[in-house]
C-alpha cells in the first residue's frame, strides 16, 4: 500500500493539497488497522463521538500543514 500517492506531496492547489491530506490520513488509519471488518465495527463508536471527530480533524490538519509546507504554501 502506497501511503503517499505517486510518492509526492506536491499539488497544484490548496484544494488538491487538502484532498491529499485527507487521503493520507485515511491511508494511515488503514495501515494502522488493516482489517477492514474491524474498522467497520469501530466506525459507529467514533462516528458519533464529538471528541473522536475532533481528533480526526486534527490529524487531517497536521497532514495539511505538512503538505502546505512541502508546496511552499502555494506561492504565486
* Tens-place pLDDT, residues 13-62: 999 999 999 999 999 999 999 999 999 999 999 999 999 999 999 999 99
In this structure, is the dihedral angle defined by the CA atoms of residues 23, 27, 33 and 36, taken in order, positive or negative? positive
pLDDT band (50, 70, 90) for residue 5: confident
How far is the C-alpha of 70 from the C-alpha of 43, rounded, in Å?
Answer: 31
Q: Could you tell me if residue 29 is inside a domain?
A: yes
Q: Could you tell me if residue 6 is inside a domain?
A: no
Q: Which domain holds residue 23?
A: 13-70
Q: Could you tell me if residue 2 is inside a domain?
A: no
Q: Could you tell me if residue 52 is inside a domain?
A: yes
Q: Could you tell me if residue 26 is inside a domain?
A: yes
pTM for the whole structure: 0.87
Q: Could you tell me if residue 4 is inside a domain?
A: no
pLDDT band (50, 70, 90) for residue 1: confident
Domain total in the chain: 1
* Tens-place pLDDT, residues 66-76: 999 999 999 66
Give the CA diameter of the chain.
45
Q: Could you tell me if residue 5 is inside a domain?
A: no
Amino acid at each position: 500500500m502506497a501511503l503517499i500517492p505517486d510518492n509526492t506531496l506536491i499539488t497544484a492547489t490548496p484544494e488538491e493539497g487538502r484532498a491529499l491530506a485527507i487521503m493520507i490520513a485515511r491511508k494511515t488509519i488503514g495501515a494502522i488497522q488493516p482489517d477492514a471488518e474491524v474498522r467497520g465495527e469501530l466506525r459507529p463508536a467514533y462516528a458519533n463521538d464529538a471528541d473522536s471527530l475532533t481528533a480526526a480533524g486534527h490529524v487531517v490538519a497536521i497532514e495539511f500543514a505538512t503538505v502546505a509546507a512541502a508546496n511552499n504554501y502555494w506561492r504565486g
